[in-house]
Amino acid sequence: MTEGTLSLGGERITGDSVRTQNVLAAMTIANIVRTSLGPLGLDKMLVDDIGDVTITNDGATILKLLEVEHPAAKVLVELAQLQDQEVGDGTTSVVIIAAELLKNADQLVKQKIHPTSVISGYKLACKLAVKYIQDKMVIPVDELGSECLINVAKTSMASKVIGIETDIAKERVAKLLNAGANVILTTGGIDDLCLKQFVEAGAMAVRRCKKADLKRIAKATGATLLTALANMEGDESVDASIIGSADEVVQERICDDELILIRGPKARTAASIIIRGANDFMCDEIERSVHDALCVIKRVLESKQVVPGGGCCETALSIYLENFATTVSSREQLAIAEFATALLSIPKALSVNAAQDATELVAKLRAYHNASQTQKDKEQLKWFGLDLQAGKVRDCKSFGVFEPAVSKIKSLKYATEAAITILRIDDMIKLDKEEKKGRHGDECM
């Protein structure tokens, strides 16, 4: 029902109309990113008002670049940003699940189920789903060994500026060389005379490095950053113990760029990732992909827990909640069942994006997980997920298809909270823009 009789001067939308509008807005946002889900998802090309082009299938990046006006749609955009900040991955999944929860809730409300009952059922379903993941689906990283992790860290070259007059600089260069340093990196420039001194001693000196890179190199090689050579007494000296070490430092050319590579740092394992591509768009997308992968590894290292991927977790939760719903005698039963149905949107989207028969694959996956939860001798089937390349189901644990447990748990919590937030809304008031005072004065005259 729409009313335009507010004394405030604006439009009021209330009842089923506002809920339907919110659901449509949420589904529109979800449909934009749905086809980008999974390893075989498609890319989006976004062009801003000045013509800059972004090509990506990263959900957070897509939604960040969209100019969304509808309030309910903005909730999902913020949801994706929150997931990106907290976990770094799973942004597309969380938006799809939230939109499906809203759509299913809207259908229940149209069947005269009160929104409060739906919200109560969703909260219970989310709580049960999180508990099931923690009790049944989580695999400790220690059990899987080091193959479960990819320990990668970006590292480059840098150092501190030592810019002094030539005669003093000469003495300082000598002190560095006498201490045993044969690679010197600085954030500032190096005088040509000092460079000559380094070359004659067979040492490498690199100038104008990034300070952030310097910190990483110092951490990897066991070196200590120096802002000055002077100690507390004012005497200038260089202690050999502050010098880091690595197997080799070499200069290499990759395409048109010259890079200095530090191999085999002694203090700890570290690595640089050199991103190369046919054009800037490809490099930007690779960088986003690497960022997501590193965030995932970080979360796994922090939580020490992973869950199987390939739609395995969502399907297992769906079957579990469906069976649990039949034991609930109140109206929340319907909401829990719809929550279970919404979770299947992930394996369905993965199958569709891979050009596979979603109906057949998801049905087979559901049968496997139902058997794992009802028959003790088939408990190992709980690790089965989708093999999108072959168009069949497989044991994701054996094939090493994992996701951070924290990513799944936070996705469920955030999606449920976002759906509940929008579901609670039954009235929307859009105020008219205020007219400028000058115009009012003109009208009075």
pLDDT tens per residue, range 53-77 = 888 777 778 888 888 788 888 888 8
Q: How high is the pLDDT of residue 175?
A: 76
The tens digit of pLDDT for each residue in 15-39 reads 667 788 888 888 888 888 888 887 7
Task: Using alpha carbons only, give the angle 370, 371, 374 rounded to the nearest 5 degrees.
Answer: 85
Q: What is the torsion angle, in degrees rounded to the nearest 10, for the CA atoms of residue 322, residue 328, residue 333 and residue 339?
A: -40
Q: In a 3-state reduction of DSSP, which class is residue 149?
A: coil
Distance (Å, rounded) from C-alpha 288 to C-alpha 79? 19
Query: What is d(CA 67, CA 73) in angstroms, rounded to the nearest whole number?
Result: 10
In the DSSP assignment, the letter for residue 310 is T
| Mean pLDDT of all residues in 91-98 | 84
Give the pLDDT confidence of 148-196 residue by residue, as tens digits. Answer: 553 222 211 211 222 324 556 677 777 777 777 778 787 877 776 677 7
Cβ(390)–Cβ(40) under 8 Å?
Answer: no
Instruction: Count the helices and strands in the chain (H runs, E runs).
Output: 16, 14
Domains of the chain, by residue range, sit at 2-149+307-431, 166-272
Q: What is the pLDDT of residue 8?
A: 56
pLDDT of res. 159 = 19
Q: Is the pLDDT of residue 102 over 60?
A: yes
Taking all residues of the chain, what is their mean pLDDT, rounded to a whole number?
Answer: 76
Q: Checking phi first, is residue 246 left (phi over 0); if not, alpha (psi -120 to 50) or beta?
A: beta
Residue 263: C-alpha distances to residues 71, 149, 176, 181, 267 (Å)? 51, 21, 21, 16, 12
Extract the tokens encoding 50.
Answer: 């000045």
How much is the pLDDT for 444? 44
User: Cα–chain-centroid distance for residue 235?
Assistant: 49
Average pLDDT over residues 90-108: 85
* CA pseudo-torsion sign 175, 180, 182, 187: negative
pLDDT band, very low/low/confident/very high, at 438 (cuts 50, 70, 90): low
2-149+307-431 folds as: GROEL; domain 1 (1.10.560)
pLDDT tops 70 at residue 225: yes
Domain made up of 166-272: CATH architecture: 3-Layer(bba) Sandwich (3.50)
pTM above 0.75, yes or no: no
Above 80 in pLDDT, residue 252? Answer: no
